[in-house]
Chains A and B, each alone.
Chain A
Amino acid sequence: MPLSLARATLLHEWPRFLPGVLSVAFAGILMLVQLGLLLGMFGTVSVLIDSSDAQIWITSPETQSFDESRDIPTSLGALIRSQPEIERSDALRTYDAEWRLESRVRVGVVLVGLDAYSDAPSCPEPMRTALCSRLAEPMAVVVDRAELDKLGAELGALAEINGHRVRVAGISQGLRAIGATYVFASTQTLRAISEAPLPDIDSATFILARIKPGTDLEALRDRLQNLLRPSAYRVWSREEFSTGTQRYWLTESGVGAGFLFSSLLGLIIGIVITSQTLRAVILASLREYATFRAIGVPSSKLGAVVLEQSLWIGIAGATLTLLLSALIVMLAHAFYIPLKLTGWAIFAAVVIGIFTAGISGLLALRALYKVEPAVLLR
């Protein structure tokens, strides 16, 4: 391996560099965990869209997010079924209700009404094997494992929704959302609970459809939108509706700005600590650097030593970030905390770690450039 003053110093005096490495790692983890929580939490607001088997979603025209659609007529289902690419259409209904269990639990829930067969486009993926068909039993409901504590429920428990007795017929996994506690029921059960003198018994919150394999989804969506008039209904592809819902939550809630602010804060703290670390290392070797300046070694070459050190600090810090983040992700999964990390988020954390160290190196260079070899002769 070629002789490198930067590396030799790092290895020989690693405790001096440790605060820098830790602060880079800290800034990275702060960003990554926040981003992971953000992605995880806001990923859950669209969980029913993402886990459905429907590539086409139809909502009321002003809808921006899953939780704020107004009812639309179920007859739309028949209309879109006339398109040859549509394999099956379905309706999904949501209804705000109150869950009671004995006298101790009272929770506001969102009742989700599905067609009670496992092949229904609206049946969420985690419920497809058995749970959707189990909803066919009158007054049967399914709740998510992550909500059991909140609902005080267990499999087979009897509870009341809006005064109607229901039975927990199944427990799903992975259908927890922030902002709403979902309780799944058949369309018939939902109608019974909502005690509809439903003027709009033939209405639903969403009409959705599964398309035949090989269909050009974008073209079909555009065609349906033309058919249904944009002023009356909005036609989405599943991905569009999902990202639209997540974006709406991110911007409307202000959490996005909070995330940016605290990540920036972490970044600044990381840069300050790392640059101070590097500065301290430079100051400790100031006379040696001054000697090299006397010999006639240009500042730029000595600066390259400091930048190489900062790069190694960045790499070490980013590696530590990745290791600790993996640990945190595992912990989060064990505790059903929605923390989700994507490839680009991890890539961004690595880049930001190295960037933090690089900026710190540049800031620390000032100490080096002030070195005057004549100080050695005073």
Chain B
Amino acid sequence: MNAGASVTARDLQHGYGEGAARTPVLHGLSLNFRAGELSLMMGASGSGKSTLLAILGGLLRPQSGAVELLGTSIWQLSARELERFRFHNCGYIFQGFNLFPALTAVEQVALPLLFGGERESQALKRARESLDEVGLAARMSLRPAQLSGGEKQRVAIARALASSPKLLFADEPTSALDSSNGEIVIALLQKIACEHGATVITVTHDPHLGKHAERIIQLQDGRIADDTLPSHAGSAATLISLPLTRPEPLS
């Protein structure tokens, strides 16, 4: 494992279909991510960014290659072990907010903790703290139908945060939101990386989010086309990013 890296991927190959109909999506892709950073993975449709996120996040088994999360080679775990690993270490945020219509915001956030065996009072307490952190303290008892899109995504983020994950995977978290709500959400993700020391990997094709990221990876046809550290690195003031190749690329 690369020193200081919380997520390491080596030589990932993946494709869909079989035989002559097989469409390769990832071509021997290697990269790593560090804790405390918000990384954006960008690219056109079909560039392989969502597939890469699914493989990194332990949701899709790559056809070959290895993924180490926090020092654990996840694709060598059994299905049950991988589930447990995800439960204790990973949070996920999806484009659709995926909230149960019947539950209030605080219940949405507390439910995964309850499934994990936590006592209800403790789960609700952590859910409230988590919602407070995303600025929804006043909206806790509302159901999804009573929340705006931005608020729903913040509930989803609170849900992902409640179990204090060290790794956060977000797939197009702002694409269903207007720009101001998108700003709020990406700023939250950056804050999570910064304050919780979490590794936040976000797939997006919204170029405006770049100013919040510590790193931007451009994917093209299943390969890394560009891997840059925007000079602003964490400051929202600078909008121009200098294309820098990462100093220690994996061989």
Contact = CB atoms under 8 A, between A and B. Distances in A.
A378 B115 contact: no
B88 interface: yes
Contact of A377 (B50, B111, B116): B50
A257 to B, nearest CB: 45
B59 A3 contact: no
Interface residues of B, number: 38
A287 B98 contact: yes
B100 A295 contact: no
Nearest to A6: B102
Q: Is the interface of A mostly helix, strand, loop or mixed?
A: helix
B86 A5 contact: no
A374 B100 contact: no
A13 B102 contact: yes
A3 B120 contact: yes
A8 B54 contact: no
Interface string B11-47: 0000000000000000000000000000000000000
Please tell me the size bucket of the interface on A. 20 to 34
A178 B96 CA distance: 65
B120 A11 contact: no
A376 B94 contact: yes
A8 B160 CA distance: 21
Interface string A290-329: 1110111110010000000000000000000000000000
Contacts of A13: 101-102
Contacts of B132: none
Contacts of A290: 98
Interface string B116-156: 10001000100000000000000000010000000000000
A187 B165 CA distance: 94
A249 to B, nearest CB: 52
Nearest to A10: B102
B50 A378 contact: yes
A9 interface: yes
Interface in A107-146: none
Contact of A295 (B92, B107, B124): B92
B171 interface: yes
Nearest to B96: A287
A292 B115 contact: yes
Nearest to B156: A291
B59 A12 contact: no
A285 interface: yes
Contacts of A285: 100-101
A298 B116 CA distance: 9
Contacts of B103: 5, 8
A84 interface: no
A3 B107 contact: yes
Contacts of A2: 120
Nearest to A9: B102
A58 to B, nearest CB: 68
Nearest to A11: B102
A377 B171 contact: yes
B233 interface: no
Contact of B60 (A287, A288, A374): A374
Interface string B47-83: 0001101100101100000000000000000001001
A73 interface: no
Nearest to A287: B98
A11 B107 CA distance: 15
Nearest to A295: B112
Nearest to B145: A12
Interface string B156-189: 0000100100000001000000000000000000
5 contacts: A12-B101, A12-B102, A288-B99, A290-B98, A377-B53
Interface of A: 2-3, 5, 8-9, 11-13, 285, 287-288, 290-292, 294-298, 301, 373-374, 376-378
Given A2-B120, A294-B57, A374-B59, 4 more contacts: A13-B102, A287-B98, A296-B88, A301-B115
